[in-house]
């Protein structure tokens, strides 16, 4: 059942005016934050009320990635401007000073202090890096990984200390941060989206019109999910790891059984090409954002 569709709000103050690239539920599931190419970032509460995290300017730079810190300790926002950490004091949100002016294509939170950032260009082959930062000290940690064609997407499994990233030269890299080097998974085409399951056992990769599921422990491709009629541009595992959600340029969101690869459900929410999808922490709500500047939230039942 559709719970929230922000195209029903007509005020310019609460509407994205460009592709919604990133969405994330707060750890308690009460709030959804979304960021778009026009530089806008909005917060939506459980009743669907929308408010801007900060004022959008005429020259605001694109937002490409958003994630909450654990325990509602803040929101990390990455984009063309670099990255900032916004923290809430009483009812006021305040940003940290951005320590890194290089474009951030993607990010993933490991814990309250450590965040992995992908540096590069979302489309063009541009030199970049995969970096882990201690945001409490504004300090980049060692090691970091140079990527000649940049990093397109980043995901993390917090419990297993795993980080995975998609490079701009058709490769997925999975790294246990307690080990010296990552494991590589070559791909036939660029991969705009990846996701690790919450137990770290499965990796989902968006490749052309399909999504692949890898067994991380055994390091092999287990399933190829076929059915979309456009490029798959977003992937997200349910909190229990049993379902994979995919979003596509065919304007649909689909749910797949991770064990069998069978398609469970298919939605078209009239948000245009789908660029981001996510689950609430309890798994009972799902959200997606598209290139019409719209965000939808619906019930898993």
Strand 295-299 with 63-68, pairing: unpaired
The mean pLDDT of 104-132, rounded to a whole number, is 94
**pLDDT score, position 124:** 86
* pLDDT greater than 90 at residue 172: yes
Predicted TM-score of the model (pTM): 0.94
Closest CA to 36 of 52, 49, 47, 71: 52
CATH topology of domain 2-299: Methylamine Dehydrogenase; Chain H (2.130.10)
Instruction: For CA atoms 271, 296, 117, 171, give the dihedral sign.
Output: negative
DSSP 30-92: SEEEEEETTS-EEEEETT--EEESSPPPTTPPPEEEEEEPGGG--EEEEETTEEEEEEEETTE
Instruction: Report which of residues 226 and 17 the model is more confident about.
Output: 226
- pLDDT band of 86, cuts 50, 70, 90: very high
The H-or-E segment that residue 212 falls in is strand 210-215
CA distance 77 to 57: 16
What's the Cα-to-Cα distance from 200 to each of 46, 122, 237, 285, rounded to whole Å?
29, 25, 11, 22
Cβ atoms of residues 239 and 199 within 8 Å: no
Q: Exposed, middle or buried: residue 11 (CB in 10 Å: 0-12, 13-18, 19+)?
A: exposed
For residue 214 the two structure tokens come to: 């890898």
CA distance 249 to 237: 19
* pLDDT greater than 80 at residue 8: no
Cβ atoms of residues 164 and 177 within 8 Å: no
- pLDDT band of 10, cuts 50, 70, 90: very low
The mean pLDDT of 211-215, rounded to a whole number, is 98
Instruction: Report which of residues 51 and 236 the model is more confident about.
Output: 236
Residues 6+ apart with CB under 8 A from 155: 108, 163, 164, 165, 194, 195, 196
Phi, psi of 170 (to 5 degrees): 60, 55
Instruction: Report which of residues 231 and 94 the model is more confident about.
Output: 231
**pLDDT score, position 12:** 45
CA distance 181 to 174: 9
- pLDDT band of 11, cuts 50, 70, 90: very low
The ranges assigned to domains in the chain are 2-299
CA distance 77 to 226: 32
């Amino acid at each position: 059942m559709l719970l929230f569709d922000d195209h029903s709000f007509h005020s310019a103050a609460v509407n994205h005016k460009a592709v919604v690239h990133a969405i994330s539920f707060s750890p308690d599931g009460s709030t959804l934050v979304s960021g778009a190419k026009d530089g806008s970032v909005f917060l939506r509460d459980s009743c669907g009320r929308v408010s801007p995290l900060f004022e959008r300017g005429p020259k605001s730079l694109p937002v490409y990635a958003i994630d909450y810190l654990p325990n509602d300790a803040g929101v990390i926002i990455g984009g063309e401007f670099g990255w900032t950490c916004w923290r809430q004091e009483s009812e006021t949100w305040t940003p940290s000073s951005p320590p890194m002016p290089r474009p951030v294509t993607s990010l993933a939170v490991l814990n309250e202090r450590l965040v992995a950032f992908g540096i590069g260009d979302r489309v063009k082959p541009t030199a970049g890096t995969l970096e882990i930062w201690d945001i409490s000290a504004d300090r980049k940690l060692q090691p970091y990984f140079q990527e000649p064609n940049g990093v397109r997407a980043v995901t993390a499994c917090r419990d297993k200390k795993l980080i995975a990233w998609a490079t701009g030269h058709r490769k997925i890299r999975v790294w246990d941060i307690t080990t010296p080097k990552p494991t590589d998974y070559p791909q036939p085409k660029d991969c705009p989206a990846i996701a690790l399951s919450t137990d770290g056992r499965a990796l989902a990769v968006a490749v052309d019109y399909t999504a692949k599921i890898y067994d991380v422990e055994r390091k092999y491709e287990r399933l190829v999910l076929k059915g979309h009629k456009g490029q798959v541009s977003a992937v997200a595992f349910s909190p229990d790891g049993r379902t994979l959600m995919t979003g596509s340029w065919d304007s649909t969101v689909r749910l797949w059984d991770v064990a069998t690869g069978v398609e469970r459900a298919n939605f078209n929410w009239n948000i245009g090409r789908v660029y981001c999808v996510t689950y609430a922490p309890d798994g009972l709500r799902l959200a997606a954002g598209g290139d019409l500047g719209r965000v939808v939230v619906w019930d898993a039942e």
